[in-house]
Structure 1
Amino acid sequence: MKRMNATSKGWILALMTGIACNSPQQEAATTAETSDSAAKQENKVMIPASACYTGQSGKDSFFLKTEIFPNVVTGTLSYNFFEKDKNQGAIEGVLKGDTLLADYTFMSEGKKSVRQVAFLLRDSTATEGYGEVEEKEGKMVFKDPAALSFAKGIRLQKTPCGER
């Protein structure tokens, strides 16, 4: 029997180590870990921060529900004016600091309309903002959102979302 020299032994050891490192079990385990990581990232569910607000002025009542995601705010808004048509619809907009600026899409008198709304969200209240408006691309928008006034706006109180 022929003796192996050190170079041959090193080469065989390297070959066996390479085969062992690339065994099907290890490859499968690595693939499974990678797949599990990808699946965990894909199944990530964004739960919005929800809040509901209600208000009353005489016989008129108001309801606002917000669902705040990292880059958008959605929800519903209702104006229930006594002995007049109810305005009820959806909002979609952005939160800049404590000010919500959103498009309000609603039905009133059988007609679909879109207008911009603003609410100052502080502590346990949502106060509607008012300002000069103009029509742009089929909807009413604030001329200068930075100049909105919240002093005389409808003031809604935070309530549990199950009540209404």
Structure 2
Amino acid sequence: MSVFLLNCNKKPEAPVAETPQPDTTAATEKIVDTLVAKSFCYMGVTGKDTVFVSIDDNLGTITGKMAAKNSEKDSNKGELSGFKSGDTLKLTYNFASEGKTGNKNEIYFLQTKNGLNEGIGDRDPETGTKYANEKKIKYTGGRNLKVADCNLVTKALN
């Protein structure tokens, strides 16, 4: 009976609390937000003429702005809209020039990691389409725009 009494007076030991281990896989995973539009800015200088372009790529739908500041002819400024097909931007440029708004021009750019190369195509005499035969578009000889600081480009576009 004395053994029984000794065991009754003994205080129970507190259970040791386990500290949860951090999930190391969650900390090393990088979350990529693919739903946010990606913004790009470009600038090209040819002689005394400068072109500024800013584009937003929202899952292949392109919007943006473009301005050409020309030294010997009227400058122009306007909106870009279109889509991306592979590495080609197929855009419509709605712009104002010579005091006249409502001007519209097709413009294709080949997008590279270094910038944009403007496509030069044959105009269809019947429809006026600048890029009538996409297989014959050349991405040399047109304007070459390099990746530029968006603060500088935005200032020029406003």
TM over 0.5: yes
Is contact 2:60-2:85 (8 Å) kept? no
Q: For residues 117-137 of structure 1, what are the alpha-carbon distances to aligned partners after superposition, in whole Å with 9 as ceiling and x for unaligned?
A: 011110121111111124788
How many residue pairs align between the two structures? 119
SS in 1 for 2:96: strand
Q: Does 1:108 align with 2:129?
A: no
For 2:123, the equivalent position in structure 1 comes to 133
The verdict on how the C-alpha distance between 1:136 and 1:76 changes in structure 2, with shifts beyond 3 A counting, is farther
RCO higher in structure (CA 8 A, sep ≥6): 2
CA distance in 2, matches of 1:136, 1:92: 24
Q: 1:93 to 1:99 in 2, by over 3 A?
A: same
Q: Tell me, yes or no, if the aligned pair for 1:51 and 1:160 is still in contact at 8 Å.
A: no
Could you say which structure has the higher helix fraction? Answer: 1
Corresponding residue for residue 22 of structure 1 = none
User: TM-score normalized by structure 2?
Assistant: 0.68
Gaps of 5+ in 2: 1-34, 154-158
TM-score w.r.t. length of structure 1: 0.66
State the superposition RMSD in angstroms.
2.1
Deviations for 1:32-65, whole angstroms, at most 9, x for unmatched residues? xxxxxxxxxxxxxx52100000010110001111
The CA deviation at 1:110 is 2.1
What does residue range 8-157 of structure 1 map to in structure 2 within 5 Å?
A: 46-111=35-100, 112-134=102-124, 140-157=129-146
Label 1:99 to 1:71 Cα distance change in 2 as closer, same or farther (>3 A). closer
